[in-house]
Amino acid sequence: MTIVLIAVALYLAATFLLVRSVTREPGGAWLWPAIPAVVLHGGYHLWVALHTAGGPDLHFFAALSLAALGMAALTTLVGARGRMAALGVVVFPLTALFLLAYHLHGHQPAEALDWRLQLHAWLALLAFATLGIAALLALMLWAQERALRRHDFRAWLRALPPLTELETLLFRTIAVGFVLLTLTLLTGVLFVENLLAQHLAHKTVLSVLSWLVFGGLLLGRWRYGWRGTKAVHWTLMAMFLLILSFFGSNFVLELVLHRKP
């Protein structure tokens, strides 16, 4: 419990420092709590994996915590390079919440997976984390465009990069996430014995639909120069499908019906 509370406190401290840097004093002081928070968070999952039968726990709250860990790590990495540190204002408190929820819910024994299925699972979580960052970037792009149209120049707006740079970062993030999602689907086809089995059919369909929407957005960007509101809508629609695919069924099965996925 101690390591979890320390990590949560560090995430919240990083959030506070980021908010202060946005409204008052720009700087990188937030990195000092953010980096150890990510390390402790990852170390906690490793400790659980080593002390839980079957290997890594990938049930609902565990997977949610791991996906949030990936988002926090990406936010810290990108923010450390001076780009989009403001993402942490949303990512860090959410990550702290999901980590705490995972710990309080308890750990469940996981089924033993061979390296191929573990590769598929980790690729899926990394794809979700990357595209989750893209969804937040899309929301920031929407908020920035809306504020500029209304001439509502506030402190948080100055913390964001120029509109064109934010848009470029959005599509680069989507491109990376799209590659990871493609690898996730490919490893699923190659390594999962019955991809259309019960509890997997709708996950497969929704994942493919999300892949098609993200791919269509990238194609539209390349071929027709899509941007702005259109890019935001397509990104959020694809991310909604991905959330339903990755976590929707697990939520219903584990928390509503109390069954194993």
Q: For 163-187, write each residue's pLDDT tens digit.
A: 888 899 999 999 999 999 999 999 8
> Looking at the chain, which runs of residues are DSSP E strands?
none
Identity of residue 96 = A
Identity of residue 93 = P
* pTM, full prediction: 0.89
Q: Comparing 185 with 154, which gets the higher pLDDT?
A: 185
The b-or-e profile of 79-96 (16+ CB within 10 A means b, else e) is beeeebbbbbbbbbbbbb
Give CA–CA dist 184/129, Å, rounded. 13
Q: What is the mean pLDDT of the chain?
A: 84
Show Cβ contacts of residue 252 under 8 Å, excluding neighbours closer than 6 positions: none
Give CA–CA dist 141/188, Å, rounded. 33
Cα dihedral sign for 240, 245, 248, 251?
negative
Mind listing the pLDDT tens digit for each residue in 231-241? 999 999 999 99
Give CA–CA dist 17/183, Å, rounded. 36
Is the confidence at residue 228, as pLDDT, over 70?
yes
Show Cβ contacts of residue 254 under 8 Å, excluding neighbours closer than 6 positions: 59, 60, 260, 261
| DSSP-assigned letter for residue 188 | H
